Amino acid sequence: MGAGVALAAYNNLVGAQAWHRRWYPAVNGLAAVGVLGAAAASGLTLGELGLRRDRVRAGLRLGSAVAAPVVAGYGLAAVIPAARPLLDDQRVTGLDRRQLAYQVLLRIPVGTVAWEEIAFRGVLQAALRRVLAEPVAIAAGSAVFGLWHVRPTVEALEVNGLATGRGARICAVTAVVGGTAGAGVLLCLLRERSGSLAASVVLHLAANCAGPLASALAVRPARARAPRSHQQSRASRRYAGSGQRR
């Protein structure tokens, strides 16, 4: 489980550093290359990693079938007025089109989805399956995936002004970590059933990109009526991150 501890520490400690935020896609892309190199050196095969070329098509089919209702759900929430408050995210509200494009075309696909899928459903899952039964390996890897999201969850709560009390924040973080671990189980099952990492990549990419896009679409009418607050501006700049010149 040393690899799991290292992964959790990476996102919760290294990920909090200013230099990591600024160079997020590049640093995480290099990290993905590094863990793949370590996997190859340890003898893990392409099949164990979910990277066999002959399984890509099956992975894309399964991933697309599961991702479609997720994207549709975000789309409906964005156009139904009563559901729009559910998409309110101060990290996205103030992004301009260039910053939003950066998020959904580079930062999320490379810095988040590719890195997390290679690290968790690829390398960690393959390593755990060598020493544990499949259900136990999936549970262990998914638990680490949940812990990976502690710091991002705390930051999201802060910028959105949610769960401001200590007890409420602990409950909220615990709930999100548990929900993320559950999502990790689903991603693992997709990868195992299809034999390809492509299945979990497609679902992960759809969920992570559809969210900001739907949030930006939902707040457009309100943005036209009201000026952007200082909190919105600060949160948006922080989220846009890293690859934006100041």
pLDDT digit string (tens) for 171-192?
989 999 999 999 999 999 999 9
Structural domains in the chain (count)? 1
- What's the number of CA atoms in the CB half-sphere (13 Å) around residue 54? 1
Closest CA to 117 of 197, 189, 19: 197
Looking at this protein, which amino acid is placed at residue 118? I
Residue 139's pLDDT is what? 96
Query: Which residues form the domain of 62?
Result: 2-243
Backbone angles phi, psi at 163, to 5 degrees: 50, 60
CB neighbours of 130 closer than 8 A, spacing ≥ 6?
44, 48
Q: Is the pLDDT of residue 198 over 90?
A: yes
- The total of other beta-carbon atoms located within 10 Å of residue 185's CB is 17
Residue 240's pLDDT is what? 56
pTM of the model: 0.86
Q: Assign 245 a pLDDT band (cuts: 50, 70, 90).
A: very low
Q: Assign 28 a pLDDT band (cuts: 50, 70, 90).
A: very high
pLDDT digit string (tens) for 74-124?
999 988 888 888 787 777 777 888 999 999 999 999 999 999 999 999 999
* Token representation of residue 204: 């992960």
**Cα distance between residue 237 and residue 194, in whole Å:** 38
